[in-house]
Amino acid sequence: MTLILALEHRGKVHMVGDRISVDSSDAARVVRDAKVFRSGEWLLGVAGCWRAMSLLKFKLRAPKISASDDVERAVNVELVDSIRSLFIAENYTKEAAEEGETEWQMLAGLRGKLFFVDSEFSVWRSADGIDGAGHTVAVAAGTAALSAQRPISRPERALRKAAQIAADGCSAIRGPFDYLCT
């Protein structure tokens, strides 16, 4: 299970992610692999299939976006096309379908804007600038905990607190929680 939480705050995107891996027998362990990472100018947090996360973390060449480019277009077109091309080149889509591991979710931060991208390449932005990816119950608890802390003056502290509240209600989520900011 995974918990990624993020928020837009004063022109930046702030994000936390856990380091839990749950195997096919539901055994959970803390791993060294951060689920929140940078790819060029992009801040990414990935939940779901580990193979998808590994490809995104180590092989994705996130598109370079000029200062005049529209960020929403960059995510919906350039980033999505880059991910799709990577997965095709690595035969991930066919391999994942055969193994039943096709579900993944990603939060992407670029130039102060936060986006949710799913395994069907749907992209959206939350109206309140708060979003999450991963375990549904934990994400709901975490985003609610973040919303309850408004106005937020210290984003890292707010995110870590929300992540801990979510973890307290879900045995498959626990710290440490990695934090990054654009």
Check whether 94 has a pLDDT greater than 70: no
What whole-number distance in Å separates Cα of residue 17 and Cα of residue 176?
8
Q: What residues does 108 pair with on adjacent strands?
A: 44, 115
pLDDT average, residue stretch 141-165:
90
Q: Is the pLDDT of residue 110 over 80?
A: yes
**H or E stretch including 85?**
helix 80-89
Q: Can you tell me the mean pLDDT for 141-170?
A: 89
The helix-helix angle for 155-168 and 136-148 (nearest 10°) equals 140
- Reported as a pLDDT band with limits 50, 70 and 90, residue 100 is low
Domain boundaries, the chain: 3-22+46-62+70-181
Q: What is the mean pLDDT of residues 73-79?
A: 94
Confidence of residue 20 (pLDDT cuts 50, 70, 90): confident
- Could you give the CA distance from residue 132 to residue 13 in angstroms, rounded to a whole number? 12
Given this model, what pLDDT does residue 161 score? Answer: 92
Q: Which helix (H) or strand (E) holds 181?
A: strand 178-181
The DSSP line for 43-69 is EEEEEE-HHHHHHHHHT--PPP--TTS
* Residue 172 confidence class, pLDDT cut points 50, 70, 90: confident
Q: Does residue 137 carry a pLDDT above 80?
A: no
DSSP for residue 124: E
Which CATH number is 3-22+46-62+70-181's, of 3.30.530.20, 3.30.230.10, 3.40.50.10470, 3.60.20.10?
3.60.20.10
* pLDDT value at residue 38: 95
Task: Tell me the pLDDT band of 101, cut-offs 50, 70 and 90.
Answer: low
The pLDDT-based confidence of 98 (bands split at 50, 70, 90) is low
Q: Residue 54: pLDDT band by 50, 70, 90 thresholds?
A: very high
In 31-156 the beta strands, taken as DSSP E runs, fall at 36-39, 42-48, 104-110, 113-118, 123-124, 130-134
Q: Could you count the other beta carbons within 10 Å of the beta carbon of residue 94?
A: 11
Residue 23 in this model has a pLDDT that exceeds 90: no
Say which residue the tokens 């999505």 belong to: 80
156: left (phi over 0), alpha (psi -120 to 50) or beta: alpha
Q: What percent of the chain has pLDDT over 70?
A: 95
Picking from 78, 19, 30, 99, the residue whose alpha carbon sits closest to that of residue 53 is 19
